[in-house]
Amino acid sequence: MTPQDLLRQLPAVDKLLNTDAAADLIAQYGRDNVVEMLRDILAELRAELLNGHEHIPDIVTLAAKHLSSDFTPTLRPVINATGIILHTNLGRALLSKAAQQAVFDIAGQYNTLEFNLESGKRGSRYLHAEDLLKTITGAEAALVVNNTAAALVLLLAALAQGKSVIVSRGQLVEIGGGFRIPEIMAQSGATLVEVGTTNRTRISDFTRAIDANTALLMRIHSSNFRQIGFVEQPELAELADAAHQKNLWLVDDVGSGAFLDTSAYGLAKEPLVQDSIRAGADLVAFSGDKLLGGPQAGILVGKKTIIEKLKQHPLARALRADKLCYAALGATLDHYRKNDAIQHIPLWQMIARPIADIQRTAQRWQTILGGEVITSESAVGGGSLPGDTLPTYVLALAVAAPDAFMAQLRAAELPIIARIAEGRILFDPRTVLAEQEEILITILKRLLAKA
């Protein structure tokens, strides 16, 4: 059969659209998208037939496959079997059920984002989390923006533009995405003054550097790296005294924003926000979606006069948090106010999960899937508690081609993200949600049978 004969067998778009299968596609994706896809497929087939191909596939079925791929969102749920709790690439902190419900309720209904029910007039979005943050941290006031880098830019622009900020040289960190503290300061218009050495800085280094142009003293917690050995940094209370004697402010960037003692779970002790306030910090900056376990947010708590100044700065509007952030954050903070964060916030549930429970889950998977249950380590991740791990049990599966198998896991209907160690694929129950276990096992059974 000649190429021209094959071309004559190609159906017209109108004929394809009149099939029941095409009608289903139109209902799902819209007529214009289906028509465009059919035209594109027919154009490709014409070119292939003229180049010697002799097969004409089911065009509507092929269109359904392409449309499904095109309409699959790039932001998708996955199963995190890596054991990294705050996995930056996988969305960091998971929201509690209460926070999820709060987002759902606010997203689908008109709400009081900037409306005062008592007066019937315009209100302020800044109020929604402020009282909760004040209650939990002991601060006079609070402000929420869209992430911690934004919080730093705002506070530096509002409090130190054209002036200098003194920071220990050993605390000039680089945060995720290659953003560095000196560069953030430069963008805000503040001038960085480095004091001390990489490993040792004393309070005298700070006091000697203070001059008429100094606006702030600043401590930056090295949440994503750790210095050990011959190291020294002044205590926060010392910095507060030094700042206040010169009528300056002390800003403490504690990074991950812990409200609970991580050392109670065998981890290094992270600075607590409420401890920073008690030690005399005038302003404390921290993240909402790390050790707080809430939505992405940059949170500032501290003196009311400072917070009010930040709220009035033009950048505050550009960096403000939205209604979904406030909904999730409010519900998350409620867990701390009610002292049930360990029971309800996924981050803390995973950190506090008993090792025996993890072992039983891994053994249950082994009974169904085979492989071997071995000891391993989970990590908190997300730039928090660097080098610290939690003991865990994992299911180790040996497959002929681990990298190819990992690619199949990622291509599953609910992608599975695992890790490879010593040629075997490891699945850590600590970060697999209970409601995901059944589909995890179903996908693995299918892929192992195929392998």
Q: What digits encode the pLDDT tens for the residues 151-192?
A: 999 999 999 999 999 999 888 877 666 667 777 777 788 899
Q: What digits encode the pLDDT tens for the residues 126-150?
A: 999 999 999 999 999 999 999 999 9
Number of H helices, E strands in the chain: 20, 16
Residue ranges, the chain, pLDDT below 50: none
Break the chain into its structural domains and give their ranges. 3-70, 79-88+347-450, 97-340
Measured distance CA(431)–CA(362) in Å, rounded:
12
Of 305, 333, 315, nearest to 151 by C-alpha is 315
Residue 175 has a pLDDT of: 66
Measured distance CA(146)–CA(319) in Å, rounded:
6
The model's pTM is: 0.91
The answer to whether residues 399 and 405 touch, using CB atoms and an 8 Å cutoff, is yes
The answer to whether residues 185 and 192 touch, using CB atoms and an 8 Å cutoff, is yes
Alpha carbon separation from 443 to 65, 72, 290, 410 (Å, rounded): 20, 19, 30, 11
Residue 316 has a pLDDT of: 95
Question: Which residues on adjacent β-strands are paired with residue 272?
Answer: 258
Measured distance CA(402)–CA(407) in Å, rounded:
9
Residue 204 has a pLDDT of: 94
Measured distance CA(165)–CA(190) in Å, rounded:
7
121: number of Cβ within 10 Å? 8
Q: What digits encode the pLDDT tens for the residues 22-35?
A: 999 999 999 999 99
Q: What is the DSSP string of 338-363?
A: TT-HHHH-HHHHHHH--HHHHHHHHH
φ/ψ region of 14 (left if φ > 0, alpha if ψ in -120 to 50, else beta) reads alpha
Measured distance CA(245)–CA(58) in Å, rounded:
80
Of 329, 414, 383, 381, nearest to 95 by C-alpha is 329
Structure-block tokens of residue 341: 């964060």
Instruction: For domain 97-340, give the CATH number.
Output: 3.40.640.10
Residue 2 has a pLDDT of: 83
The answer to whether residues 108 and 401 touch, using CB atoms and an 8 Å cutoff, is no
Give 79-88+347-450's CATH code, choosing from 3.90.950.10, 3.20.20.10, 3.30.300.30, 3.90.1150.180: 3.90.1150.180
The answer to whether residues 164 and 182 touch, using CB atoms and an 8 Å cutoff, is no
Of 390, 383, 392, nearest to 226 by C-alpha is 383
Q: Is 86 helix (H, G, I), strand (E, B) or coil?
A: strand
Measured distance CA(75)–CA(40) in Å, rounded:
26
Residue 299 has a pLDDT of: 98
Between strands 372-381 and 384-398, the pairing is antiparallel
Of 223, 216, 233, nearest to 174 by C-alpha is 223
Burial of 414 (0-12, 13-18, 19+ CB in 10 A): middle
Of 396, 394, 395, 392, nearest to 354 by C-alpha is 392
Residue 385 has a pLDDT of: 79
133: number of Cβ within 10 Å? 22
- Give the residue carrying structure tokens 């180049």: 51
Of 102, 137, 410, nearest to 278 by C-alpha is 137
83: number of Cβ within 10 Å? 26
The answer to whether residues 92 and 290 touch, using CB atoms and an 8 Å cutoff, is yes
Q: What digits encode the pLDDT tens for the residues 32-59?
A: 999 999 999 999 999 999 888 888 899 9
